[in-house]
Homo-oligomer: A and B are copies of this chain.
Amino acid sequence: MIEAMTTNETELNITLIATGTIGLSFAAFHLTNSKNCKLTIYDTRPDVSTYVQEQLPKFFPDQHHAIDISSITIAHNLQEAVINAHIVQESGPENLAIKKALWKDVEQYAPKDALLWSSTSGIPASDQAQDMHDKTRLLVVHPYNPPHIIPLLELVPSPQTSESVIQRTQAFWRERGRVPIHIKKETTGFVANRLAFALLRESIHLVNEGVVSVSELDSIVESSMGPRWAVAGPFKSYHAGGGPAGLEGFFKNIGGTVQACWDDAGKVNVGENWEGEVFRQAQEAYGVVDVEERDRITKRLLEVLREEKEKGKR
């Protein structure tokens, strides 16, 4: 099965179940990034053929002449949809009962080694798998919208998901230039949304207090941490900010300001005694950051952003 995904000669059968915005975006990704990909779509909407024909090309405005949509199979029932699948990926409504019933059925009909992925942003694989006979096959593969553009995939297995299923899933995405990150615990909201929502919460607080407006707040993020974190994430950035002393040095220098901001925002579980392990990991991962390299890339990125936004205005 891993070979089937890595060699170009063999067909790769991907079945997408429920093709709303996320499902179609995944369809666009697979069609552009997998050679010999045979896509099957199973969706209960009555006009599914017309819908796919009309909506899918919008996901690749630059390339849709090159992509053969007519090769997509529209399945009439679940059995037909998954019977030959190497991968079954569902992007249906956020409803536990529906997902539990779906995977119970999929398990009956799909090949034993097919990978089973859910795009859910909130329902853990361990809940979805409750009615499955073999719970080792299912995991969450949560995109950051839209998946045909944004490289991140959060892989969130249940405690029952097998190591080989996780590894085959990681390999699939890595081979296609994506960034699949294995989330070690089924945390509420996983990781990316938790981080983004933490910043959103503080954003709402500051607008609510009249400190800045909604659009001023967006301008602040677009012209500072957005481009910065596109180049180097928060830990790496602050580790660089601490100079040779790294993240520990950063907290030694301005930990007081950091703590004052945290205290002002309310009582939050940052956790106890985190310092040692977090500082150690930052040091191990980054040593001394090449700031000149970071600044060169950031500068280039900002130039491109300005050029592209100007283009948009024309």
Q: A193-B257, A225-B192, A232-B222 are in contact. Are A214 and B268 (CB under 8 A)?
A: no
Question: Which B residues are in CB contact (< 8 Å) with A309?
Answer: 297
A278 at interface by CB-CB < 8 Å: yes
- In the complex, the answer to whether A189 meets B264 with C-beta atoms within 8 Å is yes
Segment touching B, from A1-9, A45-53, A145-153: A145-153
Chain B residue nearest to A303 (CB atoms) is: B304
Question: Which B residues are in CB contact (< 8 Å) with A236?
Answer: 215, 218
A56 at interface by CB-CB < 8 Å: no
Question: Which B residues are in CB contact (< 8 Å) with A299?
Answer: 149
Contact with B along A271-308 (1 / 0, CB 8 A): 10010011001100110001011011111111011101
A224 at interface by CB-CB < 8 Å: yes
Determine how close the nearest CB of chain B comes to the CB of A224; give it in whole angstroms: 4
- In the complex, the answer to whether A188 meets B261 with C-beta atoms within 8 Å is yes
- In the complex, the answer to whether A187 meets B215 with C-beta atoms within 8 Å is no
Question: Which B residues are in CB contact (< 8 Å) with A98?
Answer: none
- In the complex, the answer to whether B223 meets A226 with C-beta atoms within 8 Å is no
Complex Cα distance A82/B269, Å?
A: 47
Give residues of chain A (188-226) contacting chain B, Cβ–Cβ below 8 Å: 188-189, 191-226
Complex Cα distance A260/B150, Å?
A: 24
Q: Identify which of B209, B222, B231 contacts A231 (C-beta below 8 A).
A: B222
Q: A201-B198, A297-B312 are in contact. Are A192 and B224 (CB under 8 A)?
A: yes
Question: Which B residues are in CB contact (< 8 Å) with A256?
Answer: 122
Complex Cα distance A273/B149, Å?
A: 35
Complex Cα distance A149/B265, Å?
A: 29
Complex Cα distance A27/B145, Å?
A: 40
- In the complex, the answer to whether A207 meets B274 with C-beta atoms within 8 Å is yes
- In the complex, the answer to whether A196 meets B234 with C-beta atoms within 8 Å is yes
Question: Which B residues are in CB contact (< 8 Å) with A227?
Answer: 150, 226, 230
- In the complex, the answer to whether A223 meets B296 with C-beta atoms within 8 Å is no
Complex Cα distance A304/B185, Å?
A: 33
- In the complex, the answer to whether A220 meets B149 with C-beta atoms within 8 Å is no
A184 at interface by CB-CB < 8 Å: yes
Question: Which B residues are in CB contact (< 8 Å) with A65?
Answer: none
User: Which 3 A-B residue pairings sit nearest by Cβ, starting from the closest?
Assistant: A218-B233, A226-B229, A226-B230
Please name 12 further chain A to chain B contacts, defined as beta carbons within 8 Å, in addition to the given A144-B224, A198-B265, A204-B274, sorted by A numbering. A122-B260, A179-B220, A182-B216, A187-B264, A194-B202, A194-B265, A199-B234, A201-B270, A218-B234, A222-B233, A226-B231, A300-B308
